[in-house]
């Protein structure tokens, strides 16, 4: 009970703070991952808050992640940018990692677009590809909805039979074609706790489990967003592809460099996606808000 009250109070305080401070509340939030924070530079910012200024926000301990919440316009479209995220390997629980998304969901933000860098597992995927999530494996051993449920936030047992709305996936694929990006695919993302990277046996096992890519982020935020009835579009930049029979060392600097190399394509793609979402091209088909089995 205490845990619920603390978390509830922390969320409530943060919602109140942002409601007072934000000049407007966009319907889209874009969370930027490793090496992909550059999109923030294109935003005409109306307000930038560092995570440290926002009550109860966790702060990132990873140097490749800046910690800013930016409200402004991207290509004339109102957006919130979360530049930097939190990870369970930093010592945060899934609930803490997803705190910003819970707060934004309660403020009325409707769509979450998130980006990350991931390792490829499917040998058919080329490094430098962009993978649209069509499903995921949560291997964190934690779930952000663990503990008492707040019914007004979402159901106790949210349905995940359609975790990623087909209309938003189709829209992203259409945008990739419009942007002439030929290395955009869909796939299944496996989220491991990290921070140690996969062994050859783990890589073999993840492949056998049907995962196309592996990383250490995003799933807590996605679960909370879906619990709150938000639509989610998740995009991984495939920085490296792991072959269990010939594992190569996976080096953070190389992951970041690979993500930065794909950043212009990702920015182009996201620009097109938000234009179309804003124009109202996707609405009812993705209206698959999580519901309780009763
Ligand atoms: N494994 C886990 N996380 C990652 C990888 C990887 O190979 N590449 C980028 N993030």
User: Could you give all domains of the chain from N- to C-terminal order, each with its CATH number?
Assistant: 3-291 (3.40.50.1580)
Residue 101 to residue 117: CA distance in whole angstroms: 19
Q: Which atom of ligand 1 is nearest to the CA of 255?
A: 9
Cβ(197) – ligand 1 distance below 6 Å: yes
Pocket perturbation via mutation, ligand 1, pick of 88, 119, 258 by most ligand atoms within 8 A of CB: 119
Which residue's CA is the nearest one to ligand 1's atom 10? 118
Cβ(242) – ligand 1 distance below 6 Å: yes
Which residue's CA is the nearest one to ligand 1's atom 2? 215
What is the CA(198)–ligand 1 centre distance, in A?
A: 8
Which residue's CA is the nearest one to ligand 1's atom 1? 119
What is the CA(137)–ligand 1 centre distance, in A?
A: 15
What is the CA(118)–ligand 1 centre distance, in A?
A: 5
pLDDT of the residue at 271: 95
Which residue's CA is the nearest one to ligand 1's atom 9? 118
pLDDT of the residue at 293: 35
Cβ(250) – ligand 1 distance below 6 Å: yes
pLDDT of the residue at 65: 58
Pocket perturbation via mutation, ligand 1, pick of 121, 123, 192, 216 by most ligand atoms within 8 A of CB: 216
pLDDT of the residue at 286: 47
Cβ(190) – ligand 1 distance below 6 Å: no
What is the CA(197)–ligand 1 centre distance, in A?
A: 7
pLDDT of the residue at 60: 67
Greatest CA span in the chain, whole angstroms?
55
Which residue's CA is the nearest one to ligand 1's atom 7? 119
pTM of the model: 0.92
What is the CA(154)–ligand 1 centre distance, in A?
A: 31
Cβ(259) – ligand 1 distance below 6 Å: no
What is the CA(214)–ligand 1 centre distance, in A?
A: 6
What is the CA(189)–ligand 1 centre distance, in A?
A: 11
- 10-residue averages of pLDDT along the chain (294 residues): 72 97 96 83 94 89 75 96 92 96 97 96 95 98 96 96 96 96 96 96 97 97 98 96 91 86 93 92 43 35
pLDDT of the residue at 252: 85
């Amino acid at each position: 009970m205490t845990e619920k009250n603390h978390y509830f109070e922390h969320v409530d305080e943060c919602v109140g703070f942002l409601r007072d401070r934000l000049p407007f509340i966009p319907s889209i939030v874009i969370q930027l991952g490793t090496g992909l924070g550059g999109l923030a530079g294109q935003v005409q910012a109306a307000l930038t808050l560092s995570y440290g200024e926002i009550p109860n926000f966790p702060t990132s301990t990873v140097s490749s992640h800046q910690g800013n919440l930016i409200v402004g316009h991207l290509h004339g479209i109102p957006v919130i940018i979360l530049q930097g995220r939190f990870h369970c390997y930093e010592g945060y629980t899934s609930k803490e990692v997803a705190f910003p998304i819970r707060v934004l969901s309660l403020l009325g933000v409707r769509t979450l677009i998130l980006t990350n860098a991931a390792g490829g597992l499917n040998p058919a995927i080329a490094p430098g590809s962009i993978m649209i999530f069509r499903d995921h494996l949560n291997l964190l051993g934690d779930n952000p909805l663990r503990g008492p449920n707040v019914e007004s936030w979402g159901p106790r047992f949210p349905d995940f039979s359609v975790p990623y709305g087909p209309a938003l996936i189709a829209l992203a694929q259409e945008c990739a074609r419009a942007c002439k990006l030929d290395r955009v695919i869909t796939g299944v993302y496996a989220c491991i706790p990290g921070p140690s990277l996969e062994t050859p046996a783990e890589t073999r096992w993840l492949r056998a489990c049907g995962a196309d890519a592996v990383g250490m982020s995003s799933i807590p935020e996605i679960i909370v967003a879906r619990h709150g009835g938000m639509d989610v579009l998740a995009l991984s930049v495939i920085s490296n592809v792991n072959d269990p029979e010939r594992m190569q060392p996976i080096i953070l600097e190389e992951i970041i460099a690979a993500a930065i190399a794909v950043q212009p394509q990702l920015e182009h793609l996201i620009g097109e996606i938000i234009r179309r979402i804003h124009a109202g091209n996707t609405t009812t088909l993705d209206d698959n808000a999580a519901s309780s089995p009763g």
